[in-house]
Structure 1
Amino acid sequence: MFFEFNNEAPIYRQIADQIEAGIFTGVFPPESQIPSTTEISRQFNINPATVLKGMNQLVEKGLIEKKRGRGMFVTTTAQKQINQQRQDEFFDHYVAAFITEAQQLKLSKDDLIALIERGYQND
C-alpha cells in the first residue's frame, strides 16, 4: 500500500480516505485483509494509535471489520456502500447545481439530455 500524506487533513483521516479509495478501486477487494495497524505505522513512521483511529472510522462506516486474532478485512458490501456515497456526493455537488443552472437558463429536461449526450459524444 502506498500512502501520500499532506498537511491539509489529519493523518488518521488521510489513512481512512486512502484505504477507502483502495477498497473502491479494488486494491482491497471484498473479504480481503488490509494492512495491519503495525505494518502501516512502521512503514510510514506514524503512531499506531493514529492509524487505528483511521481504521476505526472505517469500521464504524461498515467498510472493514475486525476479525479477532486475524486482522482487519473488507466487508462484502464495502464497495457498494462507497459507490452509493460517491453517487450521493456527485449529485449534491454537481447534479443539483447543474439542474439549478439549467432551470435558470430555462432549459427543458430534453435540452439537458441533449447536452449530456453531446458531452458523451465528445469523449
Structure 2
Amino acid sequence: MFDDRSPIYLQIADGIKNDVLSGALKEDEQVMSTNQYAAFYRINPATAAKGFAQLVDEGVLYKKRGIGMFVSPDAREKLRAARRERFFTEVVDPMLAEAKRVGIGVDEIVRHVGGAR
C-alpha cells in the first residue's frame, strides 16, 4: 500500500481522502482507529495518528470524544472542490499554455476531447 515517494502519513491521508471521494467512506461513517489502522498496515501508531490529525485539520474527519473518528458531513464536497481546483491548476492550465505555444486553439482541443469519448 505504501511507497517511497512521500511520507507514509501523507499516503494515509490521501488514501482516506480517495475513499471518501469514491464513496467507500460515507458522511458520518466511523473510520478505523489509529491503533487499528497501525496494526492492520503494520506501521507506527504515531504515523497513523499524524495522518489522521492532518485529516482533522483539513475538515475531512472529526472526532467524537471517547468514540472515535468519523467522516465529516461535507468532506466529499470539500475534497471534490479542492481536486477540481487542483485539476485546473496542475493539468488544464499547463496544457493550455503548451497548446498556445504550439499553435493549437481551444476549439481544436474541445473537438479532440469531445471525440475521445
Same fold (TM over 0.5): yes
Are the structure 2 counterparts of residues 112 and 6 from structure 1 closer, same or farther at C-alpha, using a change threshold of 3 Å? closer
Query: Is 1:78 aligned with 2:75?
Result: yes
Match in the other structure for 2:106: 109
Deviation by residue 1:1-49 (Cα, 9 ceiling, x = unmatched): xxx1122221211111111111111111111011111111122222211
Q: Which amino acid aligns with 1:75?
A: S
One of 13, 18, 22 as aligned partner of 1:21: 18
Q: Percent identity?
A: 34
Find the aligned partners of 1:109 and 1:41 in 2 and give their Cα distance. 48
- Structure 1's consecutive aligned runs of 4 or more residues displaced over 3 angstroms after TM superposition are 105-109
Alignment RMSD (CA, Å): 1.4
Moved more, 55-64 or 4-13: 4-13
Query: Is 1:62 aligned with 2:62?
Result: no
Normalising by the residue count of structure 2, what TM-score does the alignment of the two structures yield? 0.90
One of 49, 52, 55 as aligned partner of 2:46: 49
Find the aligned partners of 2:80 and 2:3 in 1 and give their Cα distance. 25
Find the aligned partners of 2:69 and 2:32 in 1 and give their Cα distance. 8
Question: Structure 1: where are the runs of 5+ without partners?
Answer: none
Question: Structure 2: where are the runs of 5+ without partners?
Answer: none
> How many residue pairs were aligned?
117
